[in-house]
């Protein structure tokens, strides 16, 4: 199930975001031991119509409880000259939820919501070149690479490229 996160999900969000840094170190520019401070994220988790939202993918555990297993953030650019664009950020699906279409569902829900925002024409995102499944997903959903920063981040001796992608919402698949 996909739904917007609320403040009641803050602890689960913090835990999953922190776990993402250690489970997929070549996908982030944060270190595995980076602190995810709930005080910093409390305002960003609250949906603000036409400005920001944070979507969660929830799985039902053996006890019948919903568990947060995927994330996707959206933020509209604030400056007047950039308000026609939005940014997709923090996309992550836990290893337990992979292979079930969770990231695709999150992305499609984000695009659906973005299309409803007046004046929003484009979504941008960045992704590590090591996140091969994510790159393939974005391309399959209509995003196109428009730039690449070589050696944008390093994990130990491993150099990661930051791939810049964009989606024209008027051309996005339904």
- What percent of the chain is predicted at pLDDT more than 70? 91
DSSP-derived letter for residue 48 is B
Asked if 74 contacts 113 with a C-beta cutoff of 8 angstroms, the reply is yes
The per-residue pLDDT for range 154-164, each reduced to its tens digit, is 888 888 899 99
Query: Is residue 127 packed enough to be buried (19+ CB in 10 Å), middle (13-18) or exposed (0-12)?
Result: buried
The per-residue pLDDT for range 112-162, each reduced to its tens digit, is 999 999 999 999 999 999 889 999 999 999 999 999 999 988 888 888 899
Would you state the pLDDT for residue 21? Answer: 73
The per-residue pLDDT for range 20-31, each reduced to its tens digit, is 877 665 565 555
Tokens matching residue 18: 């922190």
In the numeric block, the tokens 């953030």 are attached to 73
What whole-number distance in Å separates Cα of residue 119 and Cα of residue 122? 9
Would you state the pLDDT for residue 35? Answer: 63
The per-residue pLDDT for range 46-59, each reduced to its tens digit, is 889 889 999 999 99
| CA–CA distances in Å: residue 17 to residues 82, 126, 138, 170 | 27, 17, 20, 31
**Confidence label for 17 from pLDDT (cuts 50, 70 and 90):** confident
Would you state the pLDDT for residue 34? Answer: 57
């Amino acid at each position: 199930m996909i739904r917007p996160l609320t403040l009641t999900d803050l602890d689960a969000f913090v835990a999953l975001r922190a776990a993402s840094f250690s489970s997929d170190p070549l996908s982030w520019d944060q270190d595995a031991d980076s602190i995810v401070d709930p005080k910093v994220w409390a305002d960003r988790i609250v949906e603000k119509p036409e400005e920001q939202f944070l979507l969660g993918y929830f799985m039902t555990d053996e006890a019948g409880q919903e568990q947060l297993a995927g994330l996707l953030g959206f933020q509209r650019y604030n400056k007047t000259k950039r308000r026609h664009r939005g940014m997709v950020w923090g996309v992550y699906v836990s290893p337990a939820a992979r292979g079930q279409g969770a990231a695709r569902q999150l992305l499609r829900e984000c695009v659906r919501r973005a299309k409803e925002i007046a004046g929003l024409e484009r979504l941008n995102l960045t992704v590590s070149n090591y996140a091969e499944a994510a790159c393939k997903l974005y391309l399959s959903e209509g995003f196109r690479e428009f730039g690449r920063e070589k050696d944008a981040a390093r994990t130990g001796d491993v150099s990661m490229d930051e791939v810049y992608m964009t989606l024209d919402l008027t051309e996005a698949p339904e």
